[in-house]
Amino acid sequence: MATTERGTGPSHVLAIDQGTTSSRALIFDADMAVTATAQEEFAQHFPRSGWVEHDPSDLWSTTASTARAAIEKAGLTGADIAAIGITNQRETTLVWDRATGQPIHNAIVWQDRRTAAFCRELEAAGHGETVTATTGLLIDPYFSATKLKWLLDEVEGARARAEAGELLFGTVDTWLIWKLTGGAAHVTDATNACRTMLYDIRANAWSEEICTLLGIPMAMLPEVRDNAAEFGETRADLFGHPIPILGVAGDQQAATLGQACFRPGMLKSTYGTGCFALLNTGDTPVRSSNRLLTTIAYRLDGETTYALEGAIFIAGAVVQWLRDGLRIVRHASETGPLAAQADDGQEVILVPAFTGLGAPYWEPDCRGAIFGLTRGSGPAELARAALQSVGFQTRDLLEAMRADWPDADSPTLRVDGGMTASDYAMQFLADILGAPVDRPRMTETTALGAAWLAGHRAGLYPGPEGFAEAWRLDRTFEPGMDEPAREERYAAWQRAVRATIAS
């Protein structure tokens, strides 16, 4: 067993980060430093156009095996782990049998658009106001509620079994906790609950009104806890020792915590497959007039802190498209140097609406477009347009945030996620925002946020203030573009988006 500097008790934290394309596990030591990591990708299932599913057993097996691998790589055993923190892809929807633990269907992933027509019906029937006033969200297939309704309607016998109390609903955190605890706990946290479109973010309770509207039996919903709380204990046989699960948060909220955005006005943006920007608005759930989402940033000791969120569906995914679709690069890291070679005389703009547009447009049916191609346009111009599209989309979000929340004292943007490795993309982001962009040394902020919740609850890690002091800057990207050029470029982007939506 590993010895610890601060005594003989367990002093490490295991963070589980169950994402859209892979499951990861990280071990944090008593100083919140990462000492081991493990990662496994799993299959994506696309049974029809616009449908995206995960096999629940893949989510579980990759989580369990990466957790075991990380503990082993760190030279530890389960007995050295004081607590587990879980963070996860949000909104993805699972239903399983309470008695057998058997899922009734694959998980329906957040990106899945199968309920678009039903969402349009709900909107047309005038339910938009109730949904937004209650949940802070907009009616969209992105959220769990209509996916859950689809499962109850389409899987044979599901509705009757749910009404008889035989079926349980969960987002990915709930499913993993159920499996980790051997079916002893059916729980979630406030940040995951608030992405279901079934949760009243002001009352901090499941909304009976919306459950009734969608025909969701409330008995199948998990109990909702604070982000740092007792979520259950792992089965002893999993890691050779029972370990308490003491922290849970949806991945974007965990990144907000990991970036120590504890004060109102602080803003983070995470660049993974998609991009998610969250602005801390304190104890006020700000209602957006610009089609942003009002969401729970975190709930600690029963106190809720809210955020405005902008969700962009395609960020790093556009780089994957250059690599796997167009095959103009072999590695994501080649895109920045390639973009730097692009011809300044050409203005190629790519609107990457591959799965529609998220905030602030919410156009599920529009598709991507490229503008300004010339005979001389090639890989370099496309790479530049792809990386710049992420900056332009972030500016769209920040413009909407500024309009919704003028109190924001032009905050510095803290960035994280895989795509922040691209200096080119981060510099353009600062240029087009006309504001500095801070990249922390620790870019595993999502896992750090989950680890901090669990470690703080276990008494190992400091409270919010002490944690915020530990945040360390890697590099600030200062804006370099002059204002007329910046505004001209942004106006060209806006024209391109309008044309894409109209086409």
Ligand X SMILES: Nc1ncnc2c1ncn2[C@@H]1O[C@H](COP(=O)(O)OP(=O)(O)O)[C@@H](O)[C@H]1O
Please give the annotated binding residues for ADP, written as ranges.
20, 24, 273, 316, 418
DSSP string, 246-268: EEEEEHHHHHHHHTT--STT-EE
Site string for ligand X, 104-133 (x = CB under 6 A): ------------------------------
Which is nearest to 216 in space by CA: 264, 285, 168?
A: 168
* Contact status: 24 vs ligand G3P (CB under 6 A): no
- DSSP designation for 420: G
Both structure tokens of 176? 């993993």
When binding is defined by CB under 6 A, the residue of 69, 155, 219, 332 that contacts ligand X is: 332
Q: Which residues define the annotated binding site?
A: 20-22, 24, 90-91, 142, 251-252, 273, 316, 320, 418
Residues 248-287 that bind ligand G3P (CB under 6 A): 250-252, 272-274
Q: Out of ligand G3P, ligand X, none, which partner does residue 77 contact, by CB within 5 to 8 A per kind? A: none
Report in angstroms how near the CB of residue 89 gets to ligand G3P at its nearest.
4
Number of amino acids touching ligand G3P (CB under 6 A): 12
Identify whether the C-beta of residue 56 lies closer than 8 Å to the C-beta of residue 50: no
When binding is defined by CB under 6 A, the residue of 222, 417, 440, 479 that contacts ligand X is: 417
The piece of 247-255, 330-338, 353-361, 431-439 that touches ligand G3P (CB under 6 A) is 247-255
Report in angstroms how near the CB of residue 400 gets to ligand G3P at its nearest.
17
For ligand X, the closer CB: 20 or 305: 20
Q: Which residues define the annotated binding site for glycerol?
A: 90-91, 142, 251-252
Q: Out of ligand X, ligand G3P, none, which partner does residue 252 contact, by CB within 5 to 8 A per kind? A: ligand G3P
In whole angstroms, what is the distance from residue 267 CA to residue 252 CA? 12
Q: Out of ligand G3P, ligand X, none, which partner does residue 316 contact, by CB within 5 to 8 A per kind? A: ligand X
In whole angstroms, what is the distance from residue 240 CA to residue 485 CA? 60
Residues 224-283 that bind ligand X (CB under 6 A): 272-273
In whole angstroms, what is the distance from residue 197 CA to residue 141 CA? 10
When binding is defined by CB under 6 A, the residue of 15, 398, 419, 458 that contacts ligand X is: 419
Which is nearest to 171 in space by CA: 103, 90, 244, 111?
A: 90
Residues 311-330 that bind ligand X (CB under 6 A): 316-317, 319-320
For ligand X, the closer CB: 334 or 399: 334
Residues 12-31 that bind ligand X (CB under 6 A): 19-21
* Contact status: 19 vs ligand G3P (CB under 6 A): yes
Tell me the torsion sign for CA atoms 242, 244, 250, 256: negative
Q: Extract long-range pairs of 70-75: CB within 8 Å, 24+ residues apart.
A: 70/14, 70/25, 70/26, 70/27, 70/36, 70/37, 70/38, 71/14, 71/25, 71/27, 71/36, 71/239, 73/27, 73/36, 73/37, 73/38, 74/2, 74/12, 74/27, 74/35, 74/36, 75/2
The piece of 87-95, 238-246, 370-378, 493-501 that touches ligand G3P (CB under 6 A) is 87-95
* Contact status: 20 vs ligand G3P (CB under 6 A): yes
Q: How far is CA 215 from the centre of its chain?
A: 27
Interface with ligand G3P (CB under 6 A): 19-20, 89-91, 110, 250-252, 272-274
